[in-house]
Every structure is written in C-alpha cells, then in structure tokens.
C-alpha cells in the first residue's frame, strides 16, 4: 500500500483524507462497542490529521478556497473534540461523510 513516506503533494493530501475518514469511522464504531481506548486513539489521530491539513494550507496560492478549508478543518476539529466527550457516534460519522466528500472533490480536482 501507499505510505505517507512515499506520497507527496496531492497524493499526500489524499492519503491524509483517507486516514482521517477511517479514524472518524473507527471512533464511531468504538463508541457503539464501548471501546473507549480505541475511541480516544482515533479521536487523537483525527484531530492531528485535521490540524496537519489546516496548517499546511497555502493561503497565497489557494486564496479563498484555502480560507474556506481552514474554517472547515477548524470546525471539524472542534466538533470531533466535543464529540469525544460524549457517547454519540453520529458526529463522528457526519464529519467522516463531510471529509469523504471533500476528499472526492480533491481527487477530482487534482487527479
């Protein structure tokens, strides 16, 4: 499989999106099964990926799109952190679905 060490640029972003969606979906499943350690690990991974995506935006080249993505990533990170406190899998799934849509758009735009 593809690894982060082998991926660069658009491929790395696509990999991060895939890992983010997987982490969020795993967090939702962990909530449903009471696997709180797994939930914590997946939430930590998801928030780290969201932070990495946000901090690596190129605001000069990306303009308004970068600003919109920055707000989206920050909002998603806040939602994930808030959901981590509770026992509702829906916020994790909702955020995963949103990020999957963005990943698909990214793949189309860069592919």
Domain membership flag for residue 78: yes
Per-residue pLDDT reduced to its tens digit, 82-108: 999 999 999 999 999 999 999 999 889
The count of structural domains within the chain is: 1
What's the domain range around 58?
A: 9-105
CB atoms near residue 28 (< 10 Å): 22
pLDDT in tens, 55-65: 989 899 888 99
d(CA 5, CA 34): 33
Taking alpha carbons only, the member of 58, 71, 68 closest to residue 13 is 58
User: Which two structure tokens, joined as six digits, stand for 71?
Assistant: 């707000």
Question: Rounded CA gap, 67 and 26, in Å?
Answer: 28
**Whole-structure pTM value:** 0.90
CATH code at 47? 1.20.120.340
4 occurs within a structural domain: no
d(CA 106, CA 45): 21
């Amino acid at each position: 499989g593809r690894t982060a060490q082998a991926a660069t640029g658009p491929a790395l972003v696509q990999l991060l999106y895939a890992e983010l969606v997987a982490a969020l979906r795993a967090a939702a499943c962990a909530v449903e099964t009471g696997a709180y350690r797994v939930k914590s690990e997946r939430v930590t991974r998801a928030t780290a990926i969201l932070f990495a995506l946000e901090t690596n935006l190129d605001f000069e080249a990306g303009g308004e799109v970068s600003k919109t993505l920055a707000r989206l990533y920050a909002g998603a990170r806040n939602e994930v952190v808030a959901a981590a406190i509770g026992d509702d899998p829906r916020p994790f799934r909702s955020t995963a679905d949103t990020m999957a849509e963005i990943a698909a758009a990214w793949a189309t735009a860069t592919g």
